[in-house]
Amino acid sequence: MWDSKSSRGLNSCSKVVILAGGFGTRLSEETYLRPKPMVEIGPQPILWHIMKIYSHYGFKNFIICLGYKGYMIKEYFSNYFLHRSDLTIDLKSHKIKYHRNTCEPWTVTLVDTGLDTLTGGRIKLIRDFVENQTFMLTYGDGVANIDIRKLGKFHEASGKYATVAAVKPPSKFGSLDLQGSGQVVKRFSEKLETGNAWINGGFFVLEPEIFDYVKRIETSWERESLEKLAKDKQLVAYKHHGFWRCMDTLRDKEELIAAWNSGEAPWKVWKD
């Protein structure tokens, strides 16, 4: 049974949920071989870049929702310590001695949420892992120089069930209709209506009450849950004016790689 009183606010133990199960069809040049979160930007997949952003702000407990080719993400993390370490291998005994390693202090929970499950359904399936606490949610294909701590404080001050980072990218996405001071989301629209609209930037802070808005596995987080939260005035927007980019197409990927190779990737908020 779920305790009706959740612990509001983020802390060092708060979980970061990453949706990484989609087919990534608009990036089919890459995703016919691997899931989109495993497409590399520089030497590491974009999933790693996303996790580094959260880790920089002290959030190191991750829950990754798997689906399409999820075994590749499992293999990546299963072998992560090996690949990030110096080691000596005794070939005859098959004993391995590990030396220096450069692994991050992350805890990663990998959950198979199904091949065709919609985004809301994937969130529903990891309910037990967030332990009735405030948690964060993002997609496995977007990076930003967003201050996660400020996002969390904004959410806590709002007293609402859900906060979404609102961004202003090129005009190919849906929009958020903001009310009053520009914080309460009056309406969530997946279809673009204005050329200068704020859109869902994919960085969320959520209370466990949001699970009441995901009734079925077949629920779409964007088309059903967020729209209902907005209707109930339980969704607020944190306006992020800085860099944001979703790796939606091959051109997006190439631009992110160029930024990384330049040594001035805007989302690289961490230090090596």
Taking Cα atoms as reference points, which of 135, 268, 269 lies closest to residue 204?
Answer: 135
Give pLDDT, residue 186.
73
The separation between CA 83 and the C-alpha centre of its own chain, rounded to angstroms, equals: 24
| Spatial CB neighbours of 146, under 8 Å, sequence gap ≥ 6 | 53, 165, 201, 203, 240, 242, 244
pLDDT band at 5 (very low <50, low <70, confident <90, very high): very low
Q: Kindly report the length of the chain.
A: 272
- DSSP letters for 64-131: EEE-TTHHHHHHHHHTHHHHTEEEEEETTTTEEEEEEE-----EEEEEE--SS--HHHHHHHTHHHHT
User: Is the Cβ–Cβ distance between 165 and 143 less than 8 Å?
Assistant: no
Q: How do residues 156-199 score in pLDDT, each as one tens digit? A: 999 999 999 999 876 555 666 677 666 787 777 665 544 568 99
DSSP codes, 140-192: TTEEE---HHHHHHHHHHHT-SEEEEEE---TTS-EEEEETTTTEEEEEESS-
How are beta strands 135-139 and 15-20 bridged, if at all?
Answer: parallel
Q: What's the distance, Cα to Cα, between the start and end of the chain in Å?
A: 43
Under 8 Å between Cβ of 236 and 158: yes
In Å, what is the CA distance from 227 to each residue of 14, 17, 121?
A: 25, 20, 15
DSSP type of residue 217: T
CATH number of 15-261: 3.90.550.10
pLDDT at 20: 98
Per-residue pLDDT at 190: 63
Return the exposure string of 141-161: e unless at least 16 CB atoms fall within 10 Å of the residue's CB, then b. Answer: bbbbebbbeebbebbbebebb
Q: What is the pLDDT of residue 268?
A: 98
- Summarised one tens digit per residue, pLDDT across range 39-70 is 999 999 999 999 999 999 999 999 999 999 99
Give the tens place of pLDDT for each residue, 88-135.
999 999 999 999 999 999 999 999 999 999 999 999 999 999 999 999
Q: Name beta bridge partners: 166.
A: 200, 239
Q: Is the pLDDT of residue 258 over 70?
A: yes
